[in-house]
């Protein structure tokens, strides 16, 4: 019985591998200008209608590929010559959740939803051109199904997703074969040969690395894989966290078990996924450094072992798109105290955003400099994901009343929950002169870039993407904003911004920050970097 089961499983495995091999071309080919075939790309992003920064990355990438009809990319060969390859009208697949019952309904839903979130007709052409493949197994990627061992099960959920992708393309293959045999099918389903094949390049833009690993293995390495990483799935902080010496014995034991679980189970699996990824795109220098440590660096011994034998490591820094380039922009008039002393903060009401720090330092500023800050105002805008976030925002407003008394009722401190995108745009383009961002070690900081694009003076914590990428000055005497490390420094930065520094100095920061935002972080800049990174896969032999 046991031998029969083993033989049956072996036969099933061989049949599965044979099927997977039939769904890909015999050898991946470079896409040359003289080649009539077209490159094909598959995006794995079940939450493609989410409306966040990750979805903007997805749709800007899809739009860049769909609109690129003739892209020349250098291969940098060793002989010094510069041959080029061309991406010609690529076929783009998008593997998504089943938002509606049919592909046509999903397409219409996406068209309306993206217009609401990112502006009218921002991605209309991309939605119409992309080939949607709704997945039943996409729901397995949601963390709500796994109250325990959440990270492990979220990783493992990539396997059934990969299985469904293969089966969906197998169904396309069956349809194609039937269309050759039955005349009625031939008239109704005139499907080109390449339509049932797996994409030659798979890109994960939401964080499902095990799906890429399975697809790579099952096709015997005949597809190429890439990942756009917003935030590492596993962090070194998870494994380096030490239990408090004053904690109880059970708490220390749980901490030791948790670190062992991360080191022995989650990290090796995540490192194996990285070893099967041909291209890594990081959204910031902070993320890039951690991905190098986790997938091919010195972060963990298991990660190093997984990457040592791998022949490649393409890691690109591709900043996320933060909006289209603005050709005309009027900056806030900082020479007017009514504008200069109006501070806005835009962040979700989550603990790591540190709204309490903003409030405490702003109140301290009002108390220390009552005459200089007579027109100062703080507006905190943020989204509330759940009841806990809404209660956090409510407590924040109550704390403001307790600290300032009648000051908050007079409009000095305001809290707006779940403001619409139109309201946020009106605030950024309105009578506010300063933007406050207090999250520490944030991987990037899209809201900072949005403030810079509207000409606001930025005050941000000197860590993460804010310090390494967004506000990194070209020279020490050319700052792009005010950066702090401690609460005392934050209060001093607020004083500098609201009344202490000369207006001319602040206006110089405005101009430099605006130029950086337009040059480095626009949708157009993202498309250029993204296509350059993807071209490294197309030209790779």
Tens digits of per-residue pLDDT, 64-122? 988 864 443 334 444 444 443 444 556 899 999 888 888 889 999 998 888 877 876 77
Q: Between residues 188 and 430, which one has the greater pLDDT?
A: 430
User: Could you read off the pLDDT of 290-337 as tens digits, one per residue?
Assistant: 888 888 654 333 333 334 444 445 889 999 998 877 665 678 888 888
Read off the pTM. 0.81
List, in sequence order, every residue forming a beta bridge with 85; answer none if it has no partner.
73
Contact between 55 and 48 under an 8 Å Cβ cutoff? The reply is yes
Contact between 284 and 464 under an 8 Å Cβ cutoff? The reply is yes
Does the pLDDT at position 37 exceed 50? no
Distance CA 230, CA 209 (A): 13
List Cβ neighbours of 362 (8 Å cut-off, separation of 6 or more). 343, 376, 378, 413, 494
Average pLDDT for 336-356: 91
Give the model's confidence band at 500: pLDDT under 50 very low, under 70 low, under 90 confident, else very high: very high
Q: What is the pLDDT of residue 529?
A: 93
Mean pLDDT of the chain: 80
In 3D, which of 379, 360, 356 has the Cα closest to residue 368?
A: 360
Distance CA 111, CA 104 (A): 11
Q: What is the pLDDT of residue 144?
A: 84
Domains of the chain: 35-323+524-538 (3.40.50.2000), 337-521 (3.40.50.2000)
Q: What is the pLDDT of residue 34?
A: 35
Percent of the chain with pLDDT over 70: 75
Does the pLDDT at position 271 exceed 90? no
Angle CA(218)–CA(224)–CA(229) in degrees, nearest 5? 105
Q: Between residues 27 and 366, which one has the greater pLDDT?
A: 366
Average pLDDT for 378-385: 87
Q: Residue 531 belongs to what H/E stretch?
A: helix 523-538
Average pLDDT for 379-406: 84
The half-sphere exposure of 50 on its side-chain side, counting CA atoms within 13 A, is 17
Q: What is the pLDDT of residue 306?
A: 39
Q: How many residues does the chain have?
A: 541
């Amino acid at each position: 019985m046991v031998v029969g089961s083993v033989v049956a499983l072996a036969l099933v495995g061989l049949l599965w591998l044979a099927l997977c091999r039939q769904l890909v071309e015999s050898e991946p080919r470079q896409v040359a200008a003289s080649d009539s075939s077209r490159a094909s790309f598959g995006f794995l992003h079940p939450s493609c209608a989410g409306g966040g920064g990750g979805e903007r990355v997805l749709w800007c990438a899809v739009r860049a590929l769909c609109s690129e009809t003739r892209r020349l990319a250098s291969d940098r060969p060793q002989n010094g010559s510069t041959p080029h390859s061309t991406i010609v009208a690529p076929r783009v697949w998008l593997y998504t959740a089943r938002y509606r019952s049919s592909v046509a309904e999903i397409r219409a839903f996406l068209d309306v939803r993206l217009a609401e979130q990112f502006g009218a007709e921002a991605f209309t052409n991309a939605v119409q051109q992309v080939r949607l493949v709704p997945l039943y197994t996409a729901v397995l990627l949601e963390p709500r199904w796994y109250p325990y061992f959440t990270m492990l099960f979220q990783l493992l959920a990539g396997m059934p997703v990969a299985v469904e992708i293969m089966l969906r393309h197998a169904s396309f293959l069956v349809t194609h074969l039937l269309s050759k045999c039955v005349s009625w099918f031939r008239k109704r389903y005139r499907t080109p040969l390449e339509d049932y094949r797996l994409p030659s390049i798979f890109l994960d833009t939401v964080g499902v690395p095990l799906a890429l690993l399975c697809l790579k293995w099952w096709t015997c390495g005949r597809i190429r894989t890439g990942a756009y990483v917003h935030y590492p799935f596993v962090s070194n902080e998870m494994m380096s966290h030490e239990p408090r010496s004053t904690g109880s014995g059970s708490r220390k034991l749980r901490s030791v078990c948790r670190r062992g679980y991360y080191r022995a189970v989650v990290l090796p699996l995540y490192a194996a996924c990285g070893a099967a990824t041909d291209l890594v795109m990081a959204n910031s220098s902070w993320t890039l450094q951690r991905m190098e440590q986790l997938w091919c660096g010195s972060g963990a011994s298991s990660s190093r072992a997984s990457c040592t034998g791998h022949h490649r490591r393409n890691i690109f820094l591709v900043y996320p798109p933060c909006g289209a380039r603005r050709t005309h922009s009027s900056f806030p008039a900082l020479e007017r105290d009514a504008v200069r002393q109006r501070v806005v903060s835009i962040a979700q009401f989550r603990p790591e955003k540190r709204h309490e720090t903003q409030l405490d330092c702003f109140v301290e500023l009002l108390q220390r400099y009552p005459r200089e800050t007579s027109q100062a105002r703080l507006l905190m805008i943020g989204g509330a994901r759940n009841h806990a976030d809404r209660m956090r925002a409510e407590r924040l407003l109550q704390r403001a009343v307790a600290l300032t008394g009648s000051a908050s009722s007079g409009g000095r401190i305001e809290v707006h929950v779940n403001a619409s995108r139109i309201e946020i745009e009106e605030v950024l383009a309105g009578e506010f002169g300063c933007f406050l961002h207090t999250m520490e070690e944030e991987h990037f900081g899209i809201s900072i870039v949005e403030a810079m694009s509207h000409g606001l003076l930025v005050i941000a914590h000197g860590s993460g993407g804010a310090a390494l990428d967004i506000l990194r000055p070209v020279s020490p005497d050319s700052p792009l904003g005010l950066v702090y490390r401690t609460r005392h420094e934050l209060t001093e930065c607020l004083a500098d911004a609201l009344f202490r520094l000369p207006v001319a100095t602040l206006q110089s920061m405005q101009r430099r920050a605006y130029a950086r935002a337009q040059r480095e972080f626009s949708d157009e800049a993202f498309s250029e970097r993204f296509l350059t990174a993807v071209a490294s896969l197309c030209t790779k032999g």
